[in-house]
Amino acid sequence: MRRKQGQWLSERRKIKERQRATKGYDPFPRQKEFHDSQAKYRLFGGAAGPGKTTALLWEAVRIATTVDGCDTLLLRRTYPELETSLLAEFRRRVPRPMYKSYNESKHVITWKNGSTTRFGYCRNENDVYRYQGAEFLFIGVDELTHFTLKQWQFLTSRNRCPAKTYSRGKSKGKKIVPCMAGATNPGNIGHAWVKALWVDKVPPAGFEQSGLYNPRDYEFIQARLDDNPIYANDADYRRTLEALPKYLRKPFLEGDWSVFAGQYFDIFDYGRHTTRPEEIHLEAWWPRWISIDWGFQHPSAVYWHCAVPPEAYSRQPTADSRHNERVRDSETGSCQLPAANSRIITYREFVQNGLSPRMLGQAIAERSGRERIYEVFLSPDAFAHRTSEASVAEQLSDVLVVNGLPRPTPADNDRVGGWQWMYSLLQSNSWVMTDNCSELIQCLPHLVRDQGRDADICKVDGDDPADAARYGLVSGARLAGLNRSVIPGEARNLSSLALGTPHFVHGMPLDEQIVRQISATDPTSRAIHSQRLENEAKKFFRPKRLPRRRW
């Protein structure tokens, strides 16, 4: 009896010691809501300043000190980020008497009850495999949108533990439930899949077993600046956030997931660049073409485009004007190009994976009906012979030709120039897509700039619709009478580059000359015009050939 009483007193003493040690952390209401959540996968944050990193750290501390002999893991994408966030917070906020030891080289805390908390990072895509074979009762990922969906999915397989029960406290006797949590602001390469899982409550692109997605497993605890009493009344910090550019102000101050840092098509507006299918009338003689991004494991994405002449923007063509505007020669059946500054309407979408080339060709033919399609642009990789059989393009061509459609031709695959062209078309209102192109409309706002090349887009799962649309807009520009070398319409106001001929001089650093000739403020526009100026500079500074000597 005395022995049991002694054990009970020992447990009470441990609990009191832990309570004294954790007095430095008094969670805010939103942080407490995060800690009390029973969801398997939690997401905390949204805006800047609500104490996301602190909450994530103390959730790992809470679980590690409550469950004897368990392992927990806290992650950032790179080591410098880990050092300045989670590790700095640990050194500053967790009292030394609370844990047994801390290994500086391995970044592992050993708690007095035998549990551990490991700090790690995953700079490269495959760095998550360093945790293969490990078991973690809790995994916390700070700035989750810096990670890819594949990294997150692999980490979920490490979120497990042997059959145990809580040994002390109010939860004594309860079964352990492994869980994970993320803390983040909107933006970066993982923005789309994080938003889909926690905000939109739908399986994201690349989530192969979409039927196994259970929205009840995912809870988003949204927190803003006002939820942190430390910053809620800090007028100076609020003024700092309010002075940020729109692509930073809205996510950092308001936690807005529709605009974020790194967004490439930051000018995309649902009401401005989309229209309802029933509100447009496409005449049969206007040029139409198809663009295809081939895939099997990844979805194949197909889009139908039509060039609408400028005089049709504000009125429907009359019977007389229809005859004058016909773009198909009745005798030769050739396509006559419409006037310049036509508008491109992307009016149909088909996105599906697991289709053979011939099945895809049949699906395209069925959806095209009796429409006159002038050209079909296919991703260049489909023309390669992967086996001894016919290439994807040849198999697809056999079906399309039988159904009266053109043979596919390789699409222009200039990524940087293509994205810049798409941006220019959106800026000038020269490209509109119908609401039934839902995959494309959902994809475009989530594309982010490549950190190595600002003028390019970072490749991510789910970008197939954007690639297919790019093929159609770039390769089909001549069908719409648009010249890719000229920025159409309103986009000319983006930079001083469009106001006149670029001017270069010898003796001044080229970077400084380029900066002086760009007046655009948003990062995407600056990257586009910087790329153009660099190309012009190469031509200007190219060594001149010596004149031939005449004998």
Q: Which ranges in 296-437 belong to alpha helices (H)?
A: 319-325, 357-368, 392-402, 415-427
The pLDDT of residue 45 is above 60: yes
pTM: 0.64
What's the whole-number average pLDDT of the chain?
Answer: 80
Q: CB 219: neighbour CB atoms within 10 A?
A: 18
Contact 188, 251 (CB under 8 A): no
- In which band, very low, low, confident or very high, does the pLDDT at 252 lie, cut at 50, 70 and 90? confident
Q: How many CA atoms lie within 13 A of 261 on its CB side?
A: 18
Residue type, 287: P
The pLDDT of residue 26 is above 90: no
- DSSP letter at 84 equals I
Instruction: Quick: pLDDT tens for 371-399.
Output: 999 999 999 999 886 665 788 999 999 99
Sorted by where each starts, the structural domains of the chain and their CATH numbers stand as: 21-254 (3.40.50.300), 270-480 (3.30.420.280), 495-540 (no CATH)
Contact 102, 109 (CB under 8 A): yes
CA dihedral 294, 295, 298, 299 (to 10 degrees): 60
Instruction: Quick: pLDDT tens for 259-304.
Output: 666 788 888 888 889 999 888 889 998 999 999 999 988 899 999 9
Higher pLDDT: 114 or 486? It is: 114
The pLDDT of residue 142 is above 90: yes
In the prediction, which pLDDT does 489 show? Answer: 40
Q: What is the DSSP string of 102-151?
A: EETTTTEEEETTS-EEEEEE--SGGGGGGGTT---SEEEEESGGGS-HHH
Q: How many CA atoms lie within 13 A of 478 on its CB side?
A: 8
Contact 182, 140 (CB under 8 A): yes
Q: CB 351: neighbour CB atoms within 10 A?
A: 21
